[in-house]
Chains A and B, each alone.
Chain A
Amino acid sequence: MTETQVFEVRGLRFSYEGTPRPALDGVELQVAAGSLYAIIGPNGSGKSTLLKLLLGALHPEAGEVCYTGRRVADWGRRALAQRIGAVPQGEEMAFPITVREMVAMGRYPHLGVLGRPGREDQEAIEEALGRCDVTELAERPISRLSGGERQRALIARALAQRPETLVLDEPTVSLDIRHEMTIFDLLAELTHRDGVTVVLVTHNLNLAARYADRLLLLEGGHSAAEGRPADILSREIIERVYQWSVVVAPHPGPGRDAGAPQITPLTGED
């Protein structure tokens, strides 16, 4: 294979201290440059843990995690932050700051401790605000944003990094249809137009099936399936992993993603 792999994970095992079984065991994945890769699975299957391992916030017990061919632990934090933008889940800010102040922090990896922000930094900030549609909210305190606005502001901070790779942990949780679709459209545009590699964790199987080039389905810390959505999202696998009856039918269209497998969970009596 000559394709460039952005993330490469081999034989990954990780356990949290004081827990009997590993949170992740034997997980493998390869994320190709410029693709959109989704990690799905039930609650507690290890999705967020895997993301933290990809980002170097946790360290593997066995196996390795590489970013562009080099182990994540061997990268300097700042060098990694110049390449990977991350949108973590649910961090509470200790003090009120404005959207613009927060998005400006996306430039810190490029500026270091002393560097003076220049025109390029200003442009990156404005562009990120614009693409996430939060320019009008720039002077507002983060604490006064709605859930969707806040999520877009967090993505804007990651885009201000001008990253080659974007990693997001449930970026559309608790968002309404329009806001959720806006974010998925933005992620698709970033991969297809700008060549950014996107890795995300999501609970929305149907959007993952429509937008992702490849999926990793986790089950209790193991990889249950990995591949293109149409190949792995079968009724048998979903029912086994999620322990719930579903029907799977192709997305009727219109749209370029017509035909993607769409999952409908059945009610308890069916």
Chain B
Amino acid sequence: MTVRNSLRLLSLALLTALVLVVSIALGAADLPLRAVLDALGGGGEDPARTIVLNLRLPRAALAVLVGGSLGLAGAVFQALLRNPLAEPYVLGVSGGAAVGAVAAVVLGWNLYAPWSLPLAALVGALFAITLVLRIAARAARGFDTRVLLLAGVVVGAFFHALILLLLTFASAEAYRSAGLWMMGSLAAADWPAVLLLTAYLVPAIAVLLLMARPLNLLAMGEQTALYLGTNVERVKLASYLIASLLVAAGVAVSGVIGFVGLIVPHAIRLMWGSDHQLLLPASLLLGGGFMLAADTVARTAAAPAELPVGVITALVGVPLFVVLLTRRVV
């Protein structure tokens, strides 16, 4: 890592930290900044302390975790599939998760056990990953990423048809909650969820960050990667599985939040190039910061009502991205 790249990552980390403080300071309850900082520092008094530590902080942490995972997974999928249009949901993970979640809502499980919804979503996502992998493995010897992409897209389409089928049997109330889940929300955040997700995500993120050099080579081409010492099949399989598992966990707790995984890696590429040694950690940091900012807007723009965060990431993210895109030649 060069000094320049370290400084770039440091600046992104500081930016995310700044967004974190701003996000926690803003909300339905009007708290003075002093009280917020006191609470963050371990002191402070209720109710500010409770609001900051038990409501806003876990939600902000969840936003950073999920956004970072999506940004990182997007960068990995783009390299793996050698396709700039790839995003974390391109291989049907979101479809599988949504089938699980919608089934849980329509069948009313979530009314008895709130944990059943993320669990069903996770099971659906894991099922989708297994299915796509098995189709791709059967269709081509080795691990052909073009076949993988096709398998992912058709499996995703099949799942989306299933979701529509399930929804035709849903009550109006269930229809609405399923729809809201599919637009994404971080409202369910609490400390147990954050800690569980952290324990699951951190090792996966660490392994993906270590794959920067093999992914650099894969993006050059599979032959080149092989000739420069990469065990190509192993890298492809590992990066597909780990990035998918990362996305599956994020989808399970927060629903389908679009565009983060597509535009964050490209924004980094446009600013700083495509070296994955910088791109991967930068996408992680920017994804986290961007999701946190989007969720802050979702919480506060129409308070006390809450907007779906997936709508904000698209409404804000796409114009920002277009500005970047038109300023620089890709």
Contact = CB atoms under 8 A, between A and B. Distances in A.
Nearest to A93: B220
B209 to A, nearest CB: 10
B179 interface: no
A82 B214 CA distance: 15
A266 interface: no
B226 A77 contact: yes
Contact of A77 (B84, B229, B330): B229
B: contact size bracket:
20 to 34
Given A102-B220, A105-B217, A95 B269 contact: yes
Interface in A92-112: 92-98, 101-102, 105-106, 108-109, 111
Nearest to B81: A94
Name the residue in B219, B221, B226 with the highest tally of chain A Cβ atoms < 10 Å from its Cβ: B226
Given A108-B213, A113-B213, A94 B84 contact: yes
Nearest to B213: A108
A70 interface: no
Contact of B228 (A95, A96, A109, A114): A109
B330 A108 contact: no
A88 interface: yes
Contacts of A108: 213, 216-217, 228-229
A101 B83 CA distance: 20
A237 interface: no
A105 B216 contact: yes
A94 B225 CA distance: 13
A78 B83 CA distance: 26
Contacts of B83: 94
B177 interface: no
A117 to B, nearest CB: 9
A95 B82 CA distance: 8
Interface in B198-253: 210-211, 213-214, 216-217, 219-221, 223-224, 226-231
A130 B261 CA distance: 39
Interface string A110-125: 0101100000000000
A3 interface: no
Contacts, number: 79
B243 to A, nearest CB: 16
B21 to A, nearest CB: 34
Contacts of A161: 228
A81 interface: yes
Interface string B87-122: 000000000000000000000000000000000000
Nearest to B275: A101
A165 to B, nearest CB: 12
Nearest to A88: B223
Given A108-B213, A108-B217, A113-B214, A95 B223 contact: no
A55 B81 CA distance: 24
Interface in A52-89: 55-57, 77-82, 84-86, 88
Nearest to B83: A94
B273 interface: yes
Contacts of A93: 219-221
B220 A86 contact: no
Contacts of B230: 77
Which 4 pairs, one residue from A and one from B, show the smallest C-beta to C-beta distance? A81-B229, A91-B221, A78-B229, A94-B82
A94 B79 contact: yes
Contacts of A84: 227
A6 B229 CA distance: 19
Interface in B258-285: 269, 273-275
Contacts of A86: 224, 227
Given A80-B229, A82-B229, A86-B227, A91 B220 contact: yes
B140 to A, nearest CB: 11
Given A77-B231, A97-B273, 15 more contacts: A17-B141, A55-B227, A57-B227, A84-B227, A86-B224, A88-B223, A91-B223, A93-B221, A94-B219, A94-B220, A95-B78, A95-B79, A97-B274, A97-B275, A108-B217
26 contacts: A17-B141, A55-B226, A56-B226, A57-B223, A77-B226, A77-B229, A79-B229, A81-B228, A85-B227, A91-B223, A93-B220, A93-B221, A94-B83, A95-B269, A96-B269, A97-B274, A98-B273, A101-B274, A105-B216, A105-B217, A105-B220, A105-B228, A113-B210, A113-B211, A113-B214, A161-B228
Nearest to A81: B229
Contacts of B211: 113
A42 to B, nearest CB: 23
Contact of B221 (A81, A92, A109): A92
